[in-house]
Amino acid sequence: MNINLVHFIVPCIDSIVARNFYKRIFGFKCVKKEKNNITIKINEKMEFKLENTQEYINNHYIFEVDQNFFDTIIMNLKKEEMYFGDNINNLENKKIKKTSTKSEVFFIDPNSHLFQIFTKVSTNPQ
């Protein structure tokens, strides 16, 4: 079976603040704007619909990215002087969790959603 998630609603206190944040940190582009709902393109197959809502909940988003994109995200977090951490219980230590198989960080976006970003470590023998 081939199945792809193509659209995900992200509850927001302020969709414009969220759009601007995702543009600065990830480089995501806005593809549609309707009143206070904004759709941004994550990749060729997936979009986030940033939806203002009064019934707000926090979500946990996990992204696997390549090493270059991981480095760009870390650089952008530092440029924004944002907190990030190497584990879910310490989001302010500005450390990257590194294991033999991956590197990862955790941070909170302006709408209090938890982001976990990781990249797999290359295992090519030299």
What's the CA gap between 13 and 55, in Å, rounded?
9
Q: Give the tens place of pLDDT for each residue, 40-93.
A: 999 999 999 999 988 778 899 999 999 999 999 999 999 999 999 999 999 999
Sign for the pseudo-dihedral over CA of 97, 94, 14, 19: negative
Quote the pTM value: 0.87
User: For the domain bounded by 1-55, which CATH number is listed?
Assistant: 3.10.180.10
Fold of the domain built from segment(s) 58-126: 2,3-Dihydroxybiphenyl 1,2-Dioxygenase; domain 1 (3.10.180)
Whether the predicted pLDDT of 125 surpasses 60? no
